[in-house]
Amino acid sequence: MVHVLNTGGTISYGAPGADGATLTHSPDQVLSALGTTARIAYREVLRKGSVNMMPSDWQTIAAAARAAVAEGADGIVILHGTDTMAFTAAALSFMLERLPVPVIFTGSMRPGGAPDSDAPRNMRDAVRVAAAGDLAEVCIVFSRDAVGSGSLILRGNRSRKASATALNAFASPGYPPLGSLRGRVIRYGQAARQSRARRGDVALSAELNPNVCWIPYHPGCAPDFVAGALARADGAVIAGTGLGHLPTDGGFLEAVRDSQKPVVLVSACWHAQVRLGPYDIDRAILATENLIPGHDLTPEAAVVKLMWVLGREQALDRVRARMQEPIAGELTATSERVE
pLDDT per residue over 132-179, tens digit each? Answer: 999 999 999 999 998 889 999 999 999 999 999 999 999 999 999 999
pLDDT band at residue 335 under the 50/70/90 scheme: very low
Instruction: Please tell me the pTM assigned to this model.
Output: 0.96
Element (H, E) at 140: strand 138-143
Domain 2-204 carries which CATH code?
3.40.50.1170
Pairing state between β 75-79 and 2-8? parallel
Mean local confidence (pLDDT), 5-9: 98
Q: What is the pLDDT of residues 255-299, one digit of tens each?
A: 999 999 999 999 999 998 999 988 898 999 999 999 999 999 999
**Bridge partners, 265 (sequence order):** 238, 293
Q: Does domain 212-336 have CATH number 3.40.50.800?
A: no
Torsion sign over Cα 248, 254, 255, 259: positive
At residue 205, does pLDDT exceed 70? yes
pLDDT band at residue 334 under the 50/70/90 scheme: low
Domain boundaries, the chain: 2-204, 212-336
Distance, first Cα to last Cα, the chain? 43
Q: What is the pLDDT of residues 58-112, one digit of tens each?
A: 999 999 999 999 999 999 999 999 999 999 999 999 999 999 999 999 999 999 9
**Bridge partners, 154 (sequence order):** 140
Write out the DSSP string of 97-135: ES--S-EEEE--SS-TTSTT-SHHHHHHHHHHHHHH---
* pLDDT at residue 201 in the model: 86
* Distance of alpha carbon 172 from alpha carbon 301, whole angstroms: 12
* Distance of alpha carbon 300 from alpha carbon 153, whole angstroms: 18
By C-alpha distance, which of 147, 274, 149, 153 is closest to 217? Answer: 274
For the chain, counts of helices (H) and of strands (E): 9, 16
- What lies within 8 Å, CB to CB, of 225 at 6+ separation is none
**315 DSSP 8-state letter:** S
* pLDDT at residue 284 in the model: 94
Q: What is the pLDDT of residues 212-266, one digit of tens each?
A: 999 999 999 999 999 999 999 999 999 999 999 999 999 999 999 999 999 999 9
At residue 34, does pLDDT exceed 90? no
Same fold, 2-204 and 212-336: yes
**Bridge partners, 212 (sequence order):** 235
* pLDDT at residue 339 in the model: 36
Active-site annotation, residues: 10, 82-83, 161, 279
* Distance of alpha carbon 119 from alpha carbon 33, whole angstroms: 12
* Distance of alpha carbon 56 from alpha carbon 202, whole angstroms: 19
C-alpha distances (whole Å) from 27 to each of 4, 23, 81, 107 are 10, 11, 13, 10
Phi first, then psi: what are they for 141, rounded to 5°? -115, 120
How remote is the C-alpha of 82 from its chain's centroid?
11
Name the 3-class secondary structure at 260.
Answer: coil
